Amino acid sequence: MELKRVVVTGLGALTPIGNTVDSYWEALVSGKSGAAPIQQFDASKFKTQFACEVKNFDVFDHIDKKEARKLDQFSQYAMVSATEAMADSSLMESNPNTDRIGVIWGSGIGGLKTFQDECQNFFAGDGTPKFNPFFIPKMIADIASGHISIKYGLRGPNYVTVSACASSTNAIIDAFNLIRLGKADAIVTGGSEAAVNEMGVGGFNGLRALSTRNDSPETASRPFDKDRDGFVLGEGAGALIVEEYEHAIKRGAKIYAEIAGGGMSGDAYHMTAPHPEGIGARNVMREALLDAKLDSSTVDYVNVHGTSTPLGDVAETKAIRQVFGDHAYNMNISSTKSMTGHLLGAAGAIEAIACILSVKHNVVPPTINHYTDDPEIDSKLNLTFNTAQEREVNVALSNTFGFGGHNTSAIFKKLK
């Protein structure tokens, strides 16, 4: 069968460096760090006392107080970003067939704060089971897509993908595949996460995954730097309206970019560590290029997973050299996690937005906080250190990898 073309017609973002798409993009290009001492709880006894939190955000500015109380923070973030994306797309103004519009969301953890609060309340009591009636509906990861679909009356495919930090890129790829197969006209996709709480920080500290650079939070996320010591936990959400090309053209939609292809692979190696030679990362990028029917030489920008971990950054750059050969030296590569921190299951969504806006504006956001070259990382790669670079970006590839060896790559290109 002939596959349909899929385009992006709306964007929404709620991030540690900007609470809208425009403010997020402006901060990315200017190289702004979102890391600061944690405000949501007293982190003074934790090994890591900082994170990339969403700032200057009051949920009641966006959601009725009664409704907001029924939502975990990750669902609140999902609703806010999806609302911005839907407004940006003007999709509902065209009186679409809502039976053919779906929601495919991503979250690696879901309602962690809700789970924490309910456990604390139970064990602090006399043992009598007294639980919030919304405990389970607030906690489960799939509820975010449910709430978005209820708000807009969307009766198409509806679910949440869970693949750790690859979750929202998996969601985007699933949305892309369903639309090009003719199963839907449009899908609200993306991801959200809200793990900046005692259990989230404590859990990742237990894994020794987080940076402990408490004396300088804003420089702690330093992908590819010799002195990197772990990732910085982030939170927030990103939303995309993806739509069948002819459907978008018929209603006169604004089109940001075309989704060209997507790849998925597994490392089959370790619970939390990447394969040291980047085999899974290599395979997923090759799969995405094959799916997009693009030669590797056509890629202008790779937004890497680039978490600022000792093992991950080396493995990913090795994979890039394997896939792109000498063309790797002609591309721009950057890790926007150096600014946003790592949004876990929402990382792929906000990084897809970064790629899409790079394609639109012909600007590559930087990898900030680079001070010392790592001899294990090829110094000839253009890792876009510290300052954004202008260049023609016709094709951008976004990598997202997760615990368990889950790898995803999505490719976005200029509409032609």
Catalytic residue list: 165, 305, 342
What's the start-to-end Cα distance of the chain, in Å? 22
- Local structure of 316: helix, strand or coil: helix
Closest CA to 355 of 235, 262, 228, 232: 262
Q: Where do we find the tokens 């978490």? A: 307
Question: How far from chain centre, in Å, is Cα 375?
Answer: 29
Dist CA 106 CA 192 (whole Å)? 7
- In angstroms, the Cα distances linking 402 to 176, 192, 271, 362, 405 are 20, 15, 10, 29, 6
State which H helix or E strand residue 11 sits in: strand 6-14
φ and ψ at residue 398, rounded to 5 degrees:
-115, 125
Q: 175 near 181, Cβ under 8 Å? A: no
Q: Closest by alpha carbon to 104, among 3, 54, 165, 179?
A: 179
- Alpha-carbon dihedral sign for residues 322, 327, 328, 332: negative
CB 359 within 8 A of CB 255: no
**For residue 360, how many other CB atoms are within 10 A of its CB?**
17
DSSP secondary structure letter of residue 166: T
Residue type, position 192, single letter: S
* Residues 310/228, Cβ–Cβ less than 8 Å: yes
φ/ψ of 122, rounded to 5, equals -65, -50
